Amino acid sequence: MAKLVYNKQGRLLFTEEMRREYTILIPQMLPVHFTFLEKIFNNHGYKVKLLTSTGRKIVDEGLRNVHNDTCYPALLVIGQMMDALKSGEYNLNKTALMITQTGGGCRASNYINLLRKALKNNGMEQVPVVSLNLSNMEKNPGFKLSVKLLYELIIAICYGDLLMWIGNQVRPYEDNRGDTDALIGRWIDRIMKRGFSISAFGGTIREILKDFSDVPYTMSPKVKVGIVGEIYIKYAPLGNNCLEDFLRSEGAETVVPGLLDFILFMCDHHIVDTQLYHVRYKKFIGSGALKVFLRKMQDTIIKAVEETRFRPPARFEDTKKNVLPYVSPANKMGEGWLLTAEMVELIGSGVNNIVCAQPFGCLPNHIVGKGMIRKIRGVYPHANIVAVDYDPGATKVNQENRIKLMLSTAKADIGKLDKQ
């Protein structure tokens, strides 16, 4: 067991010795993206393990360790981690946990403290918790986000977004069921072997697009359904009860905006803060430079997709511009204006059917999500939006029944178009 070192405030630090010896567990959110992230951290000298456990036991473990008034994503993330520690699979004297901190008004910044409380209550105080953040919070001698590491993480997110975006356009129409998922798996393996180099990025994404274009398919009328909401519930199958799988089983094509837009949003609100309030000039400069790089990466993807039969994702600046009549760009709590913007962008691109995934306890999400539906429908009367609540007491049957009502309306609309 490594020597336990504490800082002046009594926080257990993750040391260089722990970096060499400890396994770091991270919760699942986006299956493709996080598979890449696990590989990158391991390439940089960490021993990272991605948790893939699912089921009601995760919810029950979360309820045992987190107050049920806390937001649902916190309950799931902490439940998944505590379930792993109690499974007997890991040596508690050689295991650490990693969790993100946003540093903003969202309660996600406090998940780390709730997790430490759960560890203490279960007699696991020797397990260190590493904060993954870009705000210089909770520094640890054994964990550093180097420029090269961040650079590779961004490229990995871009690859993940592309595979998710194109995969969703191919999977509902494939002639041979399973072709798309098999191709995604092969490309995950290829990318991890090739590495995450910017010089190879453009060529690789064109190879990916060529391979997906070659998947045998038959086009048929499908209901397109966009998925928006709080970031964890929007993406994590554990959080949304495998929402994408359910929609596909009902004959729909899912349209899920990428993670890159959320990172651009995080950069953008630092810039807006400085423009409006004349504060945080260092963050203004750093966020501005990062935003320029991210936009170039996004443009590279969009231009490559535009050369194919696939629909390209929207440009971040266009998405931001289109939301201005609805909500101010100064609205940054939780998913802020981006959640409203994604609904507007989806409808503007012809995806009129939307599931807004709302976790219990996320007030900002309800304001910029469910709270904006009436205003959006005032501009787009044909918008078919359903807000679905996810919490420990909500049953999957009730959630799916609400979505089925939305789908029945969507299918009826397709029938009307066919008759015309």
Quote the tokens at residue 370. 């469910």
Mean pLDDT for 68-88 is: 94
Mean pLDDT for 21-47 is: 96
Query: Could you give the angle at which helices 31-43 and 179-194 cross, rounded to 10 degrees?
Result: 20
Mean pLDDT for 371-397 is: 94
Quote the tokens at residue 233. 């519930």
Alpha-carbon torsion (20, 25, 28, 31), positive or negative:
positive
Band the pLDDT of 420: cuts 50, 70, 90: very low
62 Cβ contact list (under 8 Å, min separation 6): 74, 75, 76, 77, 78, 79, 80, 82, 392
Cβ–Cβ < 8 Å for 98, 26: yes
Q: Is the pLDDT of residue 374 over 70?
A: yes
Mean pLDDT for 20-37 is: 96
Mean pLDDT for 84-89 is: 96
Q: What pLDDT is stored for residue 17 in this prediction?
A: 96
Q: What pLDDT is stored for residue 416 in this prediction?
A: 62
Q: What pLDDT is stored for residue 69 in this prediction?
A: 82
Mean pLDDT for 127-132 is: 96
Q: Is the pLDDT of residue 104 over 80?
A: no
Q: Is the pLDDT of residue 417 over 70?
A: no
Mean pLDDT for 54-77 is: 92
Q: Is the pLDDT of residue 189 over 70?
A: yes
Domains 16-141 and 221-257+314-420 share a fold: yes
Quote the tokens at residue 107. 């309660």
Q: What pLDDT is stored for residue 168 in this prediction?
A: 98
Mean pLDDT for 254-282 is: 92
Cβ–Cβ < 8 Å for 98, 132: yes
Please state which of the four CATH numbers 3.40.640, 3.40.50, 2.30.30, 3.90.1280 is assigned to the domain occupying 221-257+314-420.
3.40.50
Q: How far is CA 405 from the centre of its chain?
A: 26
Q: Is the pLDDT of residue 297 over 80?
A: yes
Mean pLDDT for 192-217 is: 96
Q: Is the pLDDT of residue 117 over 90?
A: yes
Q: What pLDDT is stored for residue 415 in this prediction?
A: 63
Q: Is the pLDDT of residue 419 over 60?
A: no
Mean pLDDT for 159-182 is: 98
| pTM, two decimal places | 0.94
Mean pLDDT for 22-41 is: 96
Q: Is the pLDDT of residue 270 over 90?
A: no
Q: Is the pLDDT of residue 222 over 80?
A: yes
Band the pLDDT of 27: cuts 50, 70, 90: very high
Q: Is the pLDDT of residue 418 over 80?
A: no
Domain 16-141 adopts which CATH fold? Rossmann fold (3.40.50)
Q: Cα(first)–Cα(last) distance of the chain, in Å?
A: 72
Q: Is the pLDDT of residue 246 over 60?
A: yes
Alpha-carbon torsion (346, 103, 275, 370), positive or negative:
positive
* Domain locations in the chain as residue ranges: 16-141, 221-257+314-420
